[in-house]
Amino acid sequence: MKKICLAGVAALVVLVIAAAFFNPAQPGSESPLGFGVVRAGGAEASAAALVDPAATVADFMQVVHGPKGLRMQVQAALSGSGPADDKAWRMVQARAAILGLLTTEILQNAKPQKGSPDSWKALVNEYQKSSEDLILATRAKDRRASFEHVALLGRSCKSCHKAHK
């Protein structure tokens, strides 16, 4: 009896949540999650929406280079004997891919508040090259090469901060 009651309550909760998110609006209008416009706008609009203008270079630095950030996670996974199995490699590959995506979308599109645009472009291109090399090396499951590329990213801070931070 108790079990049936619980199941009833659970079903009710699911229904209430489903009702809250159900949105009969036409494609192109805003969904409760804010993705409706993206779907209607095509690839360009969805890329733009993914990079909310509020995602700044400082946000990138926190997420990628902060303590326990993306780069540290990749670097830690590649230390020692490296990822133990395919599943562990898959995670490293995914993190490298996301790091590359964030580089393209945030750093490449950012205008430096300090320093010249040409210098920024050169430094970001160099950074992006390392992140692309990292992606390729993780796809090839080459631990040593992957580690070298992520270490390069780890040494990129000083020259860029000196010019642009």
**Residue recorded with tokens 């494609």:** 27
Cβ-based neighbour number of residue 96 at 10 Å? 28
Of the candidate residues 130, 131, 138, 156, the single one contacting ligand HEC (CB under 6 A) = 156
Which span sits near ligand HEC by CB under 6 A: 17-25, 74-82, 106-114, 138-146?
106-114
Least Å from the CB of residue 163 to ligand HEC: 8
Sign of the CA dihedral running 157, 158, 159, 164: positive
For 113, the token pair is 């508040």
Question: How far are the Cα atoms of 24, 90, 126, 127 from residue 152, in angstroms, in the given order?
Answer: 50, 21, 10, 8
How many residues in the shown chain lie near ligand HEC by CB under 6 A?
A: 20
Q: x/- binding map, residues 56-95, to ligand HEC, per CB under 6 A?
A: xxx--xx--xx-----------------------------
Nearer to ligand HEC, 47 or 157 (CB): 157
d(CA 27, CA 12): 28
d(CA 144, CA 122): 26
Q: Is 23 in the site for ligand HEC (CB under 6 A)?
A: no
Q: Which residues pair with 29 in a beta bridge?
A: 27
Least Å from the CB of residue 123 to ligand HEC: 4
Which span sits near ligand HEC by CB under 6 A: 33-41, 54-62, 77-85, 141-149?
54-62
d(CA 24, CA 75): 46
Which residues contact ligand HEC (rule: CB under 6 A)? 56-58, 61-62, 65-66, 107, 112-113, 123-124, 127, 154, 156-157, 160-161, 164-165
